[in-house]
Amino acid sequence: MSTTPLLTVQQHILEEQRRHYPHASGEFSWLLSGITLAAKMVESRVRRAGLSDILGTAGQTNIQGETVQKLDVYANQALLYCLGKRGNVAVMASEEDAEPIVVERDRSHGRYVVVFDPLDGSSNIDVNVSVGTIFSILRRDPDDGGTRDPLKDVLQPGHKQVAAGYTVYGSSTMLVYTAGHGVHGFTLDPSIGAFLISHPDITMPPSGSIYSVNEANADSFPEGYRDFLARLRSGGTGRVYSSRYIGSLVADFHRTLLKGGIFLYPPTRQHPGGKLRLMYEANPIAFLAEQAQGKATDGTRRILDIVPEGLHQRTPLIVGSAEEVEMLLGLMR
Cβ-contact 188, 44 below 8 angstroms: no
CB of 77 to ligand AHM, least distance (A): 16
The one segment of 118-126, 232-240, 267-275, 300-308 that binds Mg ion by CB under 5 A: 118-126
For ligand AHM, the binding residues in 217-236 under the rule CB under 6 A are none
Cβ-contact 158, 296 below 8 angstroms: no
CB of 190 to ligand AHM, least distance (A): 24
Kindly determine how many residues on this chain lie close enough to bind ligand AHM according to the rule CB under 6 A.
11
Pattern 168-207, binding to ligand AHM, x per CB under 6 A? ----------------------------------------
* 210 near ligand AHM, judged by CB under 6 A: no
Q: Is 2 exposed, middle or buried (0-12, 13-18, 19+ CB in 10 A)?
A: exposed
CB of 84 to ligand AHM, least distance (A): 21
Residue of 184, 275, 295, 314 interacting with ligand AHM (CB under 6 A): 275
Q: Which does 16 bind (CB under 5 to 8 A by kind): Mg ion, ligand AHM, none?
A: none
CB of 196 to ligand AHM, least distance (A): 26
Cβ-contact 186, 165 below 8 angstroms: no
Q: Which does 248 bind (CB under 5 to 8 A by kind): Mg ion, ligand AHM, none?
A: ligand AHM
Cβ-contact 138, 28 below 8 angstroms: no
User: Measured between alpha carbons, how far is residue 327 from residues 227, 231, 238, 303 in Å?
Assistant: 11, 10, 13, 17
The neighbour count for residue 203, using CB atoms within 10 Å, is: 14
The one segment of 17-25, 118-126, 162-170, 283-291 that binds ligand AHM by CB under 6 A: 118-126
β-partners of residue 183 are 178
CB of 34 to Mg ion, least distance (A): 20
CB of 121 to ligand AHM, least distance (A): 4
CB of 249 to Mg ion, least distance (A): 6
* 122 near ligand AHM, judged by CB under 6 A: yes
CB of 28 to Mg ion, least distance (A): 25
* 248 near ligand AHM, judged by CB under 6 A: yes
Residue of 120, 153, 290, 323 interacting with ligand AHM (CB under 6 A): 120
* 298 near ligand AHM, judged by CB under 6 A: no
* 214 near ligand AHM, judged by CB under 6 A: yes
CA distance 285 to 253: 8
For 201, phi and psi rounded to 5 degrees? 45, 65
CA distance 48 to 51: 5
Which residue, 214, 220, 183, 323, is CA-closest to 262? Answer: 323
* 247 near ligand AHM, judged by CB under 6 A: yes
Interface residues toward Mg ion, by CB under 5 A: 117, 120
Interface residues toward ligand AHM, by CB under 6 A: 95, 117, 120-123, 214, 247-249, 275
